[in-house]
Chain A
């Protein structure tokens, strides 16, 4: 069964610095998709960035980028030049492509990020 683990419960950083949030996953599929979402203080869940397992290049969207280390089953989220508005809970998620659980999206427990002035 697929499993997603985020070991960092909370992180605090100073504004304008870079932060990395860790995520490791377990899967038996050779093809899968990895996603990062952000949940704001209002409860809204927003999609940020994705990485397809067959792509070697790390995905980048705005000031979000990924550190995809396939041999380690790891997908870290990097936020550069953090802003106060980046304070939120960040979730890592995985969807397998080939197994019977097609389209099933499994989430980690989340990492709470606090960006301080």
Chain B
């Protein structure tokens, strides 16, 4: 069953704490994405990964970093989270030129 899995689904953190969002897929997709979604702004690309250790910044990378040590796993890290990073984060994956498949999202609240 083709699926992108995100963990955790819900997370509450205090300002200044570190945050780790995890994403997995078992389809051997080369490309993986991290997006954030805020009301009225659609989906904004944070980072894109083309394969293991081959990552590129998206449109809003500031305050985030990523890690991809295995093709099936892509992590988003917030070092010292800020309140304006409260959002819903989506991971997606795809083969080249195919429509990306999205995970269910992680709702992050930074207090």
Q: Which residues of A contact B (CB under 8 A)?
A: 33, 35, 37, 43-47, 50, 91, 93, 97, 102-110
Q: Which of B33, B44, B48, B88 contacts A43 (CB 8 A)?
A: B88
The dominant DSSP class at the A interface is strand
Is the C-beta of B24 less than 8 angstroms from some C-beta in chain A? no
**B31/A103 in contact, CB under 8 A:** yes
A35 to B41: give the CA distance in the assembly, Å. 17
A50 to B95: give the CA distance in the assembly, Å. 15
Is the C-beta of B61 less than 8 angstroms from some C-beta in chain A? no
Known: A43-B88, A103-B31. A91 touches B42 (CB 8 A): yes
Total residues of chain B contacting the partner, CB 8 A: 25
- Among the stretches B15-23, B65-73, B78-86, B99-107, the one at the interface with A is B99-107
In chain B, residues 35-70, which have Cβ atoms closer than 8 Å to a Cβ of chain A? Answer: 35, 40-45, 48, 50, 58-59
Known: A103-B50, A105-B33. A33 touches B42 (CB 8 A): no
Known: A45-B102, A109-B40. A104 touches B96 (CB 8 A): no
**B42/A108 in contact, CB under 8 A:** yes
Nearest Cβ in chain B — how far from A9, in angstroms?
8
A93 to B92: give the CA distance in the assembly, Å. 14
